Amino acid sequence: MTERVHNAAPAAPGLDFFAQLSVQVGPVHEIGPTPAGNRRVIPITGGTVSGDGWTGRVLPGGADFQAIVTPSLARLDARYVLETDGGDLIYVSNQAIRVAPPAVTAKLVRGEPVDPSQVYFRCVPAFETSSAALGWINERLFVGSGVRHPDRVDIACFALR
């Protein structure tokens, strides 16, 4: 007798809070128009991170590589390192899109504050570590949402269940 397999649809993944990041940024390097869009590189100068029962800092030296693709769409690729208070290092590679009306996007590009409710800013951060205690993050997918401020980017990250 063969076992019958039901064709039930997979459940939608849930979200578990992972960390809140506040990533400090420096002055923008405007590369200018390229085939990928208006290319910009924004240095990452530091910041803080706090998770459930742990804290750390954003190490200086990373960058956010941006392309303003249209007057309303930006594609972001940020890469940097976190250091937990316990000394563990976490590599972050964060892909994001930021969508806003052209006037709001222009303000963001100029480094002016904007109302976060006018901006769709979602990301897919990937975390890598050699830490045994945090090794589980190498085996999970994450999503997040962000808010751009003139001097920093705040990001809430969630693990997909």
Roughly how many angstroms between the first and final C-alpha of the chain, as a whole number?
Answer: 35
Nearest to 19 by CA among 136, 158, 160, 161: 158
20, 49 Cβ separation under 8 angstroms = yes
**Nearest in space to 134 (alpha carbons), one of 123, 145, 146, 142:** 142
Q: Give the domain ranges of the chain.
A: 15-160
| Predicted pLDDT of residue 43 | 98
15-160: CATH topology? Porin (2.40.160)
Q: How far apart are CA 66 and CA 32, in angstroms?
A: 11
List Cα–Cα distances, 119 to 64, 115, 124, 132, 136, in angstroms: 18, 8, 17, 37, 32
pLDDT value for 1: 59
Per-residue pLDDT of the chain (161 residues; tens, 9 = 90+): 566 667 889 999 999 999 999 999 999 999 999 999 999 999 999 999 999 889 999 999 999 999 999 999 999 999 999 999 999 999 999 999 999 999 999 999 899 999 999 999 999 999 999 999 999 999 999 999 999 999 999 999 999 99
Tell me the CA distances in angstroms from 62 to 12, 43, 78, 80, 86, one per residue in order: 33, 6, 7, 4, 21
